[in-house]
């Protein structure tokens, strides 16, 4: 069964409590929390303050996806806010290995995200150190975009790298995941499905989450 991680970016920010209540009673495994700085990506979302509130609202894993430049400046703030996993972008880290070590030294799980144009091989010297790889299946910055099909062979390639390196990293797919394309994504080797619009724009979010959860590989 895939891990299902609804992205709160698509939630109703005028009534987050209702959306948290919904996720808490759903079969969703993680809260996927998208932090955007208006520099690394063209959009601005939220920072550690809101993550503190999500932390209080749920016992589920808080999966924090940092789409920010120089994320090393904010690792402590996001840990203190309650992140269980911190994912940084390879493209945003000059010293990616050091940044990964800093996350792990704080006692939380480290993830690395790759933009659609970034080769999987970028991770070959860090793959054993990390718990999660977030493959972007859209260009980061906005919810509700179309899945980029070239992500599918990239999943296969990443799976091979993970197996050959004896790494325990999970493969997370982020962007444009729908009930239609999720079976192919899971079949290719994905472990974690992020879903923003597919969950929050659904007429029946609980049933949609349950369907994502039941996708077999
Ligand atoms: C995009 C974010 C995603 C986004 C996914 O930059 O990283 O997590 O919220 O939203 P959907 O599932 O609507 O593409
Ligand atoms: Zn994300």
pLDDT tens digits in sequence order for the chain, 217 residues long:
999 999 999 999 999 999 999 999 999 999 999 999 999 999 999 999 999 999 999 999 999 999 999 999 999 999 999 999 999 999 999 999 999 999 999 999 999 999 999 999 999 999 999 999 999 999 999 999 999 999 999 999 999 999 999 999 999 999 999 999 999 999 999 999 999 999 999 999 999 999 999 998 7
Cβ atoms 143, 10 nearer than 8 A: yes
212 CA from centroid of ligand 1 (Å): 16
98 CA from centroid of ligand 2 (Å): 22
**Structure tokens belonging to residue 40:** 């690394």
155 CA from centroid of ligand 2 (Å): 17
Q: Domain holding 151: CATH number?
A: 3.20.20.70
Pocket perturbation via mutation, ligand 1, pick of 35, 135, 138, 151 by most ligand atoms within 8 A of CB: 138
Element (H, E) at 153: helix 151-165
Give the number of the atom of ligand 1 that is nearest the alpha carbon of residue 113. Answer: 7
Give the number of the atom of ligand 1 that is nearest the alpha carbon of residue 145. Answer: 14
Q: How many domains does the chain have?
A: 1
Residue 9 CA: which ligand is closest? 1
pLDDT at 217: 76
Task: Give catalytic residues, as residue numbers.
Answer: 34, 174
Residue nearest to atom 9 of ligand 1 (CA): 143
Give the number of the atom of ligand 1 that is nearest the alpha carbon of residue 147. Answer: 14
Q: Which domain holds residue 48?
A: 3-213
Residue 43 CA: which ligand is closest? 1
Tell me the whole-structure pTM to 2 decimals: 0.98
How far apart are the C-alpha atoms of 39 and 181, rounded to whole Å?
30
How far is Cα of residue 137 from the mean position of the Cα atoms in its chain? 11
Pairing label, strands 170-174, 132-136 = parallel
Q: Which residues line ligand 1 (CB under 6 A)?
A: 7, 9-10, 32, 34, 65, 138, 140-145, 174-177, 194-198
How far apart are the C-alpha atoms of 126 and 104, rounded to whole Å?
13
136 CA from centroid of ligand 1 (Å): 9
């Amino acid at each position: 069964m895939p891990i299902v991680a609804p992205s709160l970016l698509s939630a109703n920010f005028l009534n987050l409590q209702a959306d948290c209540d919904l996720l808490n009673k759903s079969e969703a495994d993680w809260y996927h929390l998208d932090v955007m700085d208006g520099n690394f990506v063209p959009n601005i979302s939220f920072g550690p303050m809101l993550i503190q509130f999500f932390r209080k609202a749920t016992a589920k894993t808080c999966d924090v996806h940092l789409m920010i430049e120089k994320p090393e400046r904010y690792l402590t703030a996001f840990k203190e806010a309650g992140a269980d996993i911190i994912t940084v972008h390879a493209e945003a880290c000059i010293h990616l290995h050091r940044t990964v070590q800093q996350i792990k030294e704080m006692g939380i799980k480290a993830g690395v995200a790759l933009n659609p144009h970034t080769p999987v091989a970028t991770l070959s010297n860090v793959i054993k150190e990390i718990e999660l790889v977030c493959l972007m299946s859209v260009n980061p910055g906005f919810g509700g975009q179309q899945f980029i099909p070239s992500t599918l062979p990239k999943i296969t390639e990443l799976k091979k790298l993970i197996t050959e390196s004896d790494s325990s990293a999970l493969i997370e797919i982020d962007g444009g995941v729908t009930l239609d394309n999720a079976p192919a994504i899971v079949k290719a080797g994905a472990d974690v499905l992020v879903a923003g619009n597919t969950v929050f724009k659904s007429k029946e979010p609980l049933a949609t989450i349950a369907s994502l959860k039941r996708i077999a590989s």
